Structure 1
Amino acid sequence: MKKMKKVLSLAMISAMTISLLAGCGKKEGSKETGSSADTIKIAVAAPMTGDNAEYGQGFLNAANMMAEEWNAKGGVLGKQIDIVPYDDKNSSEEAATIAQKIVSSKDIIGVIGHFASGVCMTAAPVYNENNIIEISPSASHKDYSGIGDYIFRNNTVISTEAKASLDIAVNDFGKKNIGIISIKTDWGTGTAQVIKDLATELEGDGVKIVAHEEVVEGSDDYSPAITKLNEAGADVVICAGMYNLVAPVAKQYKRVNPDIKIVGFSNAYSQQLIELGGEDVEGVGFPVIFFSGSEDPTIQAYVEKYKGKFGNEPSALTSQAYDSVGMLLTAIQEAGTTDSAKVREALTGVQYPGVAGDTKFDENGDVQKEFVKVTIENGKFVQMK
């Protein structure tokens, strides 16, 4: 029986309109997709170029590595897996075009991607209308998985992660005067609001949001926002943005206040953060679902293999992309077919022991996972004590 989905929000109606204008039509029933004579195709749609290229390249690396592992064992259904990359440049407009290309090709069983929630939510109605499975390793907007039955996320909803970030600020760092700096995107604005809502629940303990500043992603100068946060008395700043926000904010803020504490999100957990921030990102904390420094032998083996192939450690989101491909292939194997409806049904029942935690989709296509608190010490990521 098909799982019940949440009612679409007004934001989803807008996204649906984009997809309909792109010319997609509802398929009658399901059919065999993503399968040719000797291959099964899976798309990876993400930013392969531009400011967020590290995330897309990580998704692609992880997908290729998982496909190679399955292909070495004979593939799935006796066919080899072929990963097909698409560069959406982290642009909603580009993603709408790519989604239409993917559904028009009629030979792709599923999509791993996209990266940003807003981009995912533009493309998802196109996939859902055409019965193409989409698993995003990174979308966290609460409404994303409610777009339809074929839409899944291998990432927690943003409210869960925001609560973990707030916990680091208040309980691990012992701070109560919270500043927020967020990127001016749907995700950044929405995440900042979630933090504010959660903070109101802690007002009885003296916790308060003293200031919130929105900034343009990729800016080189955050000093106006930093000045306002500092004048408001912030003793900890939660950064709702990727490493390319956290690193320069840490550098510039510590010139003003060397004692400031900074908290990020799992999308900032990247070697690039250390390379860009240097000694100024020492002590930055964030919650992650996957920690490359884990002593678990399975995770250690995965990290070493990834480093050997690509020269750097996998991030949390990269690892969720790796697991997402594994879950989709497991569902195809269990369904015994590439029939889209049967694969989707099998996917809802998969319980997957992934490197980013044991994973199972709930009735909404969401997952629940445990967070690990990570910080940076002596230029390395370590688990917070």
Structure 2
Amino acid sequence: MKKISKGILTLALTTTMLAGCASKPSEPSTPGGNSTPAADGVIKIAVAGPMTGDNAEYGKGFANAAKLMVDEWNANGGVLGKKIELVTFDDKNSGEEAASIAQKIVSDKDIIGVIGHFASGVCMAAAPTYQENKVIEISPSASHPDYSGIGDYIFRNNTVINVEAAAGLDIAINDLGKKNIGIISIKTDWGTSTAAIVKDLVADKAGTGAKVVAHEEVMEGSDDYSPAITKLNAAGADVVICVGMYNLVAPVAKQYKQVNPNIEIVGFSNSYSQQLLTLGGSAVEGVRFPVIFFSESTDPKVKTYVDNYKNAYGSVPSALTSQAYDSVGMLLEAVKAAGTTDHAKVRDALAAIKYPGVTGNTVFNEKRDVQKEFVKVMIKDGKFEAVK
């Protein structure tokens, strides 16, 4: 299995999901109000993400993975002799909604930490409230470079976007041997900033002959990308970097290959989903991307996790879903190591953790960001396959 080594740090503001609604909050929050231990008998973990709307698959995946991990711990007695409960919130992938939810979360003294939110911008809208009230936030998906800098209670279990963008370009330039790079990106904060990062990285590789021949921004969720595709094709793109999720990559692949059957397409790990295969069909054959988690891994730990997830939910877990699973595990291990639910002590234990999860060995750096290795994956014969 061919791996890409760790690299540059990045950014990215996209998505998670869950299902459910919050329990009624207790008293109003006060700065630092959650620094005391949780009540006897129960420890709560909040999961916050888009449970409804276009990005609901991500939020629900977060919630499913969190429940799977919590069930495993509860089956073994919970943590510190207490039962673990999940409380889920639908932020609709909205910064305004997330800011409101954050106030509800910090008012519940039994909540030790938050897994979420999904998009970087949404995470950054809620994070100041968590930081002020000393509630740990671990986002399985935020990639914006500035996210974890909001404060020392803010953690990222996802690679910064610059690192992933560099990994994608390595596939395009070195694996596929392409030089004329087209970019199609969704018109969101994350899409715009990530496309800019890709351009800067290509400019740094000018000595290789690689260049961006065209860049087209499109509305997320559009059905017709033909105007953008026509411009990319006319500019002579021989590989297209899709800065978006599966709901961009699948239709772009379908429509582009009607114009140019030989076009190569490289995506980001947030497009690594069964939905990409379902929506794209034969058109996504050959699409490649770097991922941290590969569900077809032969690692026994990964195989057991994937089997358990499939048995519970009837689908294969995505990379971001799996990072949510590990995020819950890390938070609970930190509580166990601290020997208390005191937020400051749990935070310190989490910052120092070395966690052998299904998404690799996780260690946080001084910025509370993780650095992991990528696996290069492509779609072949209707399945995801690691590039040897």
TM-score computed with the length of structure 1 as normaliser: 0.92
1:322 aligns with 2:325: yes
Amino acid at match of 2:31: K
Amino acid at match of 2:144: H
How far apart in 1 are the matches of 2:33 and 2:92? 32
Equivalent residue, structure 2, for 1:27: 32
Equivalent residue, structure 2, for 1:61: 64
Question: Secondary structure at 1:105's aligned position in 2?
Answer: coil
How far apart in 1 are the matches of 2:231 and 2:91? 35
- 1:25 positional shift: 5.2
Equivalent residue, structure 2, for 1:120: 123
Equivalent residue, structure 1, for 2:223: 220
How far apart in 2 are the matches of 1:42 and 1:185? 29
How far apart in 2 are the matches of 1:46 and 1:118? 12
Equivalent residue, structure 1, for 2:355: 352
Q: Deviations over 1:293-334 (max 9, x none)?
A: 111111111111111111011111111000000000000001
- 1:347 positional shift: 0.4
* Distance change >3 Å, CA 56–CA 28, structure 1 → 2: closer
Question: Secondary structure at 2:112's aligned position in 1?
Answer: strand
How far apart in 1 are the matches of 2:31 and 2:179? 51
Equivalent residue, structure 2, for 1:313: 316
- 1:344 positional shift: 0.2
Question: Secondary structure at 2:294's aligned position in 1?
Answer: coil
How far apart in 1 are the matches of 2:334 and 2:39? 18
- 1:29 positional shift: 8.7
How far apart in 2 are the matches of 1:67 and 1:181? 39
Amino acid at match of 1:125: P
How far apart in 1 are the matches of 2:346 and 2:291? 29
Amino acid at match of 1:301: T
How far apart in 1 are the matches of 2:234 and 2:312? 47
- What is the 5 A alignment of 1:235-250? 235-250=238-253
- 1:97 positional shift: 1.1
- 1:30 positional shift: 2.7
Question: Secondary structure at 2:361's aligned position in 1?
Answer: strand
- 1:384 positional shift: 1.2
- What is the 5 A alignment of 1:67-216? 67-216=70-219
* Distance change >3 Å, CA 220–CA 85, structure 1 → 2: same
How far apart in 2 are the matches of 1:360 and 1:83? 25
1:298 alignment partner, one of 301, 306, 316: 301
How far apart in 1 are the matches of 2:287 and 2:243? 13
Moved >3 Å (runs of 4+)? none
* Distance change >3 Å, CA 277–CA 28, structure 1 → 2: closer
- 1:104 positional shift: 1.9
1:379 alignment partner, one of 365, 370, 382: 382
Amino acid at match of 1:382: E
Aligned residues: 362
Amino acid at match of 2:219: V
Q: Which runs of 5 or more structure 2 residues have no equivalent in the other structure?
A: 1-12, 14-27
Contact 1:320 1:356 in 2 (8 A): yes
TM-score computed with the length of structure 2 as normaliser: 0.91
Equivalent residue, structure 2, for 1:337: 340
Contact 1:24 1:126 in 2 (8 A): no
Question: Secondary structure at 2:207's aligned position in 1?
Answer: helix
Equivalent residue, structure 2, for 1:5: none
Q: Deviations over 1:351-378 (max 9, x none)?
A: 0000000001111110010000000011
- 1:218 positional shift: 0.8
How far apart in 2 are the matches of 1:322 and 1:29? 24
Amino acid at match of 2:63: L
Q: Deviations over 1:166-205 (max 9, x none)?
A: 0111111111000111111111111101101110111111
How far apart in 2 are the matches of 1:256 and 1:111? 45
How far apart in 2 are the matches of 1:131 and 1:282? 46
RMSD: 1.4
- 1:106 positional shift: 2.6
How far apart in 1 are the matches of 2:30 and 2:216? 42
How far apart in 2 are the matches of 1:89 and 1:257? 37
* Distance change >3 Å, CA 66–CA 255, structure 1 → 2: same
Q: Deviations over 1:250-291 (max 9, x none)?
A: 111111111110000000000000000000001000000000
- 1:93 positional shift: 1.4
Contact 1:24 1:129 in 2 (8 A): no
Contact 2:34 2:106 in 1 (8 A): no
Question: Secondary structure at 1:214's aligned position in 2?
Answer: strand
* Distance change >3 Å, CA 118–CA 24, structure 1 → 2: farther
Contact 1:46 1:115 in 2 (8 A): yes
Q: Which runs of 5 or more structure 1 residues have no equivalent in the other structure?
A: 1-10, 12-22
